[in-house]
Amino acid sequence: MKIQNFNELAVSDARRATLKIAEDGLEAIDTEQVMREMIQVGMADGKQTLLLGNEVIDLSAVRDVIFIAIGKCATEA
């Protein structure tokens, strides 16, 4: 949970709902979590693959994979 003192702050239903919205927003912009979900290495049909979002790339003919990050959150990933 991003909001460490969520339960202490959620003293009413309205505050709990507001904090839940803020928590969901913070989770959605968590660079590390989003990158882990969107970029994965796996196996498909006995071949090593790279999953980028919904795109599956066969890595059998690939020697190197290089990622370049640009922007405010680039140093977090």
**What distance in Å separates the CA atoms of residue 44 and residue 50, rounded to the nearest whole number?**
10
Radius of gyration of the chain (CA): 18
Reply yes or no on whether the pLDDT at 77 is more than 60: no
Q: pLDDT category, 76, cuts 50, 70, 90?
A: low
**What distance in Å separates the CA atoms of residue 18 and residue 13, rounded to the nearest whole number?**
9
Residue 24: its pLDDT value, please? 96
Q: What is the pLDDT of residues 8-63, one digit of tens each?
A: 999 999 999 999 999 999 998 888 888 888 999 999 889 999 999 999 999 998 99
Reply yes or no on whether the pLDDT at 72 is more than 80: no
**What distance in Å separates the CA atoms of residue 36 and residue 52, rounded to the nearest whole number?**
10
